[in-house]
Amino acid sequence: MWPLSYPTPMTKPLPLSHLKVLDVSQVMAGPFCCMLLGDMGADVVKVEPPHVGDQTRRSMGFKLKGTDSGGFLALNRNKRSIEIDLKSEAGLEAFYELVRTADVLIENNRPGVAARLKIDYPVLQKINPRLVYASISGFGQTGPWSTRPGFDLIAQAMTGIMSVTGHPGGAPAKNSVPVGDLGAGLFAAYAVLSAVQGRERSGEGQYVDVSLFESALSLSIWEVAEYWGTDKVPTPIGSANRMSAPYQAFRAADRHFVFGAANQKLWTALCGVLERADLMDDARFATNTDRMKNREALVAEIEPTLAARPADDWIAALLAAGVPAAPILTYAEALVSEQAEARDMVLEMEHPVEGTIRQLGFPVKMCGTPQQLRHPPPLLGQHTEEIMREAGCAEDVIERLRARGAFG
């Protein structure tokens, strides 16, 4: 295999260094989207309410050195912050100056709020026809549920995700990783960049409507396929898979671990490792379809065999035979694993209040234009004057706007 090289010094402009992004969002989906764009080089300006800022600054229930939470620090690197009171006339004037030269705007107000604030797409399109404007909401801008408030919890509940999460017979469970929020952020980034690319041909921006509901539902691929294919409503199956078996967590002598024999070749290899040739001859397990139908019986056959040896022994034997297998790591273990270290998935940067902080690394590696930790998560309003000057406002104009309450 040709050698891969991921240089750390900046040798070329980052792919999105030509884009100016206004992050008028809070909490997770919007900030996550904007952080992804910032990681790729976009100049992201976080527009925040004076004195309080993004709600996430004060969330999470545990304190660091400063007032900003760990959650805020995790979602807002590679951004600068400006305080603007969008409810004041002077604040709107200042905001409109930023809009004139912006390429992208991301907001996540409930439908109707942006219009009341006079920062909705029809208003801003007149100021900047090339603007790509993305709204992220719970249920989208149209439809009978559009005005409902929406969190990740609500999206997971109303898309069916909670109905299939957990173990059979257990209480309703939410996926701990907020798939609705993060999915919406990912889909928003994908849509925004598509719109920016389209603008290169049309010369015009466009409106992008993203919802947690549709994002979460769009990720439910196996579950919907099962329902449409069988006309049976999917139910929780624990760690098992809806398309193959065995493919789940199993108990060894000391602890649980996972393996997946997702095709006939792997099934044969698994039976060899287990020294259970009888399973190959059992009609209940002859094909993947048979194993799916008889999953509980299959688990009952396999686990007594696994109980004879510790998990690490089984993992080593299965991997040697080409069967995917792994321990179940905690985050404490995963973050210091040799693979996380080799792939730079824990990075450090300096913050003006917290000192050295840790950040999750970049999930994709680009050998020509590697992403950079260019800016630490900003303090509230840290770059207000700097950003207004870059927008073309003279010092006296900035001071007049300040005197009129534009910046709180």
Does residue 59 register a pLDDT over 90? Answer: no
Using an 8 Å Cβ cutoff, are 191 and 134 in contact? yes
Does residue 357 register a pLDDT over 80? Answer: yes
Q: What is the pLDDT of residue 156?
A: 98
The top-level CATH class assigned to 247-251+256-327 is alpha beta
Mean pLDDT of 370-391: 96
Residues in CB range of 289: below 8 A, 6 or more apart = none
Cα torsion at 277, 279, 283, 285 (round to 10°)?
-130
Using only C-alpha atoms, what is the Rg of the chain? 25
**Measuring CA to CA, which residue among 370, 377, 312, 302 is closest to residue 73?**
377
Higher per-residue pLDDT: 10 or 213: 213
Does residue 1 register a pLDDT over 50? Answer: no
Mean pLDDT of 289-312: 97
Mean pLDDT of 44-65: 92
Task: Give the Cα-Cα-Cα angle 36, 21, 75 (nearest 5 degrees).
Answer: 35
Q: How far apart are CA 261 and CA 258, in angstroms?
A: 10
Phi-psi sector, 14: left (phi>0), alpha (psi -120 to 50), beta: beta
Q: pLDDT tens digits for 88-116? A: 999 999 999 999 999 999 999 999 999 99
Q: Report percent pLDDT > 90 for the chain.
A: 95
The residues that are catalytic are 181
**Measuring CA to CA, which residue among 148, 163, 164 is closest to residue 212?**
148
Q: pLDDT tens digits for 185-228? A: 999 999 999 999 999 999 999 999 999 999 999 999 999 999 99
Q: Report percent pLDDT > 70 for the chain.
A: 97
List the domain boundaries for the chain: 20-219+341-403, 247-251+256-327
Using an 8 Å Cβ cutoff, are 99 and 127 in contact? yes
The top-level CATH class assigned to 20-219+341-403 is alpha beta
What does the DSSP 8-state code read for residue 363? S
- Which pTM does this prediction carry? 0.94
Using an 8 Å Cβ cutoff, are 93 and 406 in contact? yes
Q: What is the pLDDT of residue 408?
A: 86
| Domains 20-219+341-403 and 247-251+256-327 alike in fold | no
